[in-house]
């Protein structure tokens, strides 16, 4: 299996504060990799580092292309879509306007075709096409954020805690849709989650992060079985 994304010795800092201390990790082509860890471990920062939002050192490869040091906009154009923590939805805009923003890199006609596909995945968004995003439920907002990211037709989807603040049934629904999208679109996913149980079920591989260092890497099955890791880092 080839890797779509590979990070080598990845470091990141906010000003003088060093947050990531040399991470090595990979996302396989067509696969799902989970990044787990407690609050403040550096999960969000890792996704920001991949997108060029924080200053980094080390190498990040997307396929054969070095993307570290590139501008966020260029990284997006190379096929990396980011669903940030807090979803990054434009609350005052409608569902439709948010989706159009997601498709901004693509010709209008193609984007409109893809809207149909998104409504097939997320029928709730279709019903609420003209609704102001800020008035959507939390689950609907998460769906909108994912749909918007997918309209870029990314090769790599970065998801920052899609389950955050949502009821278990909605979380299940979102992960069912993500599984379908992964299969249909062949998109590779790097999933950051506090909800380790659901992340390990969805991902084939996982990394456990502790204060900016990877303390365990392996198959989701192995990590899920490790009693010590479960108790220390995963909280279940
Ligand atoms: N803009 C910032 N400026 C300074 N420090 C920051 C900034 N953003 C994050 N940090 C620090 O970086 C560390 C890692 O934060 P990060 O948000 O990556 O953690 P996380 O694993 O995503 O946590 P959570 O599960 O709470 O979302 C924390 O100590 C945090 O205080
Ligand atoms: Mg975070």
This prediction's pTM: 0.95
Residues 101-123 have a mean pLDDT of 85
| All structural domains of the chain with their residue ranges | 1-79+154-170+186-236, 91-152
> Is the C-beta atom of 195 inside 6 A of ligand 1?
no
Residues 187-207 have a mean pLDDT of 94
* Ligand nearest to the Cα of 12, by number: 1
Mean confidence (pLDDT) of the chain: 92
Selected residue with higher pLDDT from 228 and 219: 219
35-66 pLDDT, tens digit each: 999 889 999 999 999 999 999 999 999 999 99
Pocket probe for ligand 1: among 15, 16, 17, 215, the residue whose CB has the most ligand atoms within 8 Å is: 17
Q: Which residues surround ligand 2, an ion (CB under 5 A)?
A: 43-44, 85
pLDDT at 114 over 70: yes
pLDDT at 130: 95
pLDDT at 236: 61
Q: Which atom of ligand 1 is nearest to the CA of 38?
A: 25
7-17 pLDDT, tens digit each: 999 999 999 99
pLDDT at 233 over 80: no
The residue whose C-alpha atom lies closest to atom 5 belonging to ligand 1 is 14
Q: Which atom of ligand 1 is nearest to the CA of 161?
A: 27
What's the per-residue H, E or C state across the chain?
CCEEEEEEEEEEEECCEEEEEEEEEEEECCCEEEEEECCCCCHHHHHHHHCCCCEEEEEEEECCEECCCCCHHHHHHCCEEEECCCCCCCCCCEHHHHHHHHCCCCCHHHHHHHHHHHHHHCHHHHHCCCCEHHHCCHHHHHHHHHHHHHCCCCCEEEEECCCCCCCHHHHHHHHHHHHHHHHHHCCEEEEEECCHHHHHHHCCEEEEEECCEEEEEEEHHHHHHCHHHHHHHHCC
> Is the C-beta atom of 212 inside 6 A of ligand 1?
no
CATH number of this structure's domain 1-79+154-170+186-236: 3.40.50.300
pLDDT at 195 over 90: no
Least confident of 1-15, 106-120, 136-150: 106-120
pLDDT at 80 over 90: yes
Q: What confidence category does residue 227 fall into, taking pLDDT thresholds of 50, 70 and 90?
A: confident
Distance 44 CA to ligand 2 centre (A): 4
pLDDT at 157 over 80: yes
């Amino acid at each position: 299996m080839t890797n779509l994304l590979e990070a080598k010795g990845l470091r990141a800092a906010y000003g003088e504060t060093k947050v990531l201390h040399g991470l090595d990790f990979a996302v396989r082509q067509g696969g799902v990799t989970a990044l787990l860890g407690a609050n403040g471990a550096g999960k969000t920062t890792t996704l920001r580092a991949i997108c060029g939002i924080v200053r980094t050192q080390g190498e990040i490869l997307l396929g054969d292309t070095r993307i570290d040091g590139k501008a966020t906009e260029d990284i997006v154009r190379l096929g990396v879509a980011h669903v940030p923590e807090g979803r990054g939805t434009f609350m005052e805009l409608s569902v439709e306007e948010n989706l159009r923003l997601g498709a901004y890199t693509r010709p209008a006609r193609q984007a409109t075709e893809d809207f149909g596909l998104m409504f097939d995945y997320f029928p709730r968004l279709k019903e609420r096409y003209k609704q102001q995003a800020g008035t959507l439920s939390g689950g609907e907002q998460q769906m909108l954020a994912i749909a918007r990211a997918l309209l870029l037709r990314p090769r790599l989807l970065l998801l920052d805690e899609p389950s955050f603040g949502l009821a278990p049934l909605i979380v299940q629904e979102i992960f069912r849709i993500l599984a379908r999208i992964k299969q249909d679109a062949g998109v590779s996913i790097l999933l950051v989650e506090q909800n380790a149980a659901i992340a390990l079920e969805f991902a084939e591989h996982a990394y456990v992060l502790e204060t900016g260092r990877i303390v365990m890497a392996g198959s989701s099955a192995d990590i899920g079985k490790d009693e010590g890791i479960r108790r220390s880092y995963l909280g279940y």
